[in-house]
Amino acid sequence: MGVEIAGVKFYGSPWVSTNKTAAFYCSRNEIMKKWNRIPRGIDVLITCQPPLGHGDADYIEEHLGDVDLLGTVACRIGPTFHVFGYSREAFGMSFNGYTYFVNSAMCTRSYNPSNDFIVFDVPMPDRASKSSPNINYFTGLVQNSIIRKKL
């Protein structure tokens, strides 16, 4: 599901491919169908699972990120920010030259909320207004267009 606020487009997806007990688990064979629903033109992508190699190491240095999500973010979507928090041990940020990857997990592996907040500014388009922002909700792609409903 996505929302556009004052010209900035946010999109969130809860799916993960590494934890079979998760409420939004999807097998490696099926996960790409979920990532393909993320529309192009997103400014801030919010997922549970990180992409492979960006803030995805666990406590034994295994990678929990999804390779297909990395390809989707880097090659198709190209958001300014990709925010996630699934891997609690890899809190922090990285940058690939186009996208800032933000692992915003507040809790440690033992659920101790000891990580600081990560605060970042999202640039607003010139045409946007902070005083009276337009808010539009949208879902994924249908026939290469975005379905919108205005409130």
Query: Do residues 86 and 49 touch, judged by C-beta distance below 8 A?
Result: yes
Task: Tell me how far apart the alpha carbons of residues 16 and 67 are, in angstroms, rounded to a whole number.
Answer: 12
Q: Report domain extents, the chain.
A: 2-150
Nearest CA to 39 out of 124, 136, 145 is that of 145
**Homologous superfamily (CATH) for 2-150:** Metallo-dependent phosphatases (3.60.21.10)
Extended beta strands in the chain, E state: 2-5, 8-13, 44-47, 81-84, 92-95, 100-103, 135-142, 145-150
pLDDT winner (highest mean) among 26-40, 112-126, 128-142: 26-40
More confident residue, 104 or 148: 104
More confident residue, 146 or 83: 83
pLDDT digit string, tens, across residues 35-87? 999 999 999 999 988 998 887 777 666 777 888 999 999 999 999 999 998 77
pLDDT digit string, tens, across residues 88-111? 777 788 999 999 999 988 877 777
Task: Tell me how far apart the alpha carbons of residues 86 and 144 are, in angstroms, rounded to a whole number.
Answer: 30
pLDDT of 61: 67
